[in-house]
Amino acid sequence: MISTHALRREFRRSKRAEPVVAVDGIDLTVDAGEVFGLLGPNGAGKSTTMRMLTTLLPPTSGTALVAGHDVARERSAVRRRIGFVAQGGGTDAAETARSELVMQGRVFGMSRADALARANQLLDRFSLTDAADRRLGTWSGGMRRRLDIAIGLVNSPELLLLDEPTTGLDPASRAEVWAEIRAVRDAGTTILLTTHYLEEADELCDRVAIVHKGKVARTGSPDDLKSQVAGDSIVVTLPAGAPETVAPTVREQPWCRGADEVDDRTLRVYVDDGSRAVTDLLRLLDGLSTPVVTLTLTRPSLDDVFLTATGHPLAVAGV
């Protein structure tokens, strides 16, 4: 659905100024039917990449094929096949949802009747029919974001591009938007989204590209990325003093990649596959006559992945 090669974009403040490289040679392949996420802090180059893929911004160099067409040379073919939902939305506060949806259908060449039918269908699907003829200025942020997505779907696009789809939304609205995005994917539309929220990438995306300083640092499914970073860890609470006693034996086990005595009651054990090693660890401790008070299995987060890939935690990397 998307394939880019060495995609690059520079910005110049003036003709003489040194160019600032926003996107520095990005290679991406997004398959039909998947939800693909560009994850990175603000300023990493996610939005610039997305704007090039929507034809809004010509690349400085490199190529990008979107839905089978070149974004630089076949702009109108690309535009007909995609839907784009910008971060700040794109609706007029003085208009109504129905008229915005109809307008969107009309600019894609639908007849008035077809555009109205499509508008009503989408209003219904996004549960916006009741508010359809109220000025958008009176709508909540979550409703407007759902309308933005509906507008992006008017032309039944093969690919829907969502720039920071849940930034600025409250948790309830975010969950609603996530549900809508999943429904769009289930209906067969490919989705590319940008986000700087780890949970969002984790929850929604089939595959993620970690973008840092205009480059792709890692690509893969959230699970693959996490297991590449490091294995899982098991944290056990034991009777006082026990961690020190058992640690050497634990470290000798073939499934163990390391063990830290966190304090005199807590032991953290690093393993490749946590769900299997749990049994081994419990059996071992049982053999050592050490009762286990609590046990927690933790898997690495995308934050750990981000940290390993870029050397910065996501939360501060943009600053």
Candidates 50-58, 201-209, 247-255, 261-269: pick the segment binding other proteins (CB under 8 A). 50-58
Q: Label the pairing between strands 69-70 and 61-66.
A: antiparallel
For residue 14, state whether it binds other proteins (rule: CB under 8 A).
Answer: no
Closer residue to other proteins in complex, CB, 84/197: 84
Q: Label the pairing between strands 232-237 and 69-70.
A: unpaired
- Binding-site size, other proteins (CB under 8 A): 28
For 16-20, the CB contacts below 8 A with 24+ separation are none
Nearest distance, CB of residue 27 and other proteins, angstroms = 23
Q: Could you write out the three-class secondary structure of 44-70?
A: CCHHHHHHHHCCCCCCCEEEEEECCEE
As a whole number of angstroms, the distance between CA 145 and CA 87 comes to 9
As a whole number of angstroms, the distance between CA 102 and CA 278 comes to 57
Contact with other proteins (CB under 8 A) among 6, 19, 42, 58:
58
Closer residue to other proteins in complex, CB, 189/310: 189
User: Would you say 98 and 133 are in contact if contact means Cβ atoms under 8 Å apart?
Assistant: yes
For residue 305, state whether it binds other proteins (rule: CB under 8 A).
Answer: no
Residues 83-142 that bind other proteins (CB under 8 A): 84, 86, 88-95, 99, 103-104, 106-109
Residues 146-205 that bind other proteins (CB under 8 A): 151, 155
The two counts, helices (H) then strands (E), for the chain are 12, 14
Nearest distance, CB of residue 53 and other proteins, angstroms = 10
For residue 57, state whether it binds other proteins (rule: CB under 8 A).
Answer: yes
Q: Where does this chain bind other proteins (CB under 8 A)?
A: 54-58, 76, 79-80, 82, 84, 86, 88-95, 99, 103-104, 106-109, 151, 155
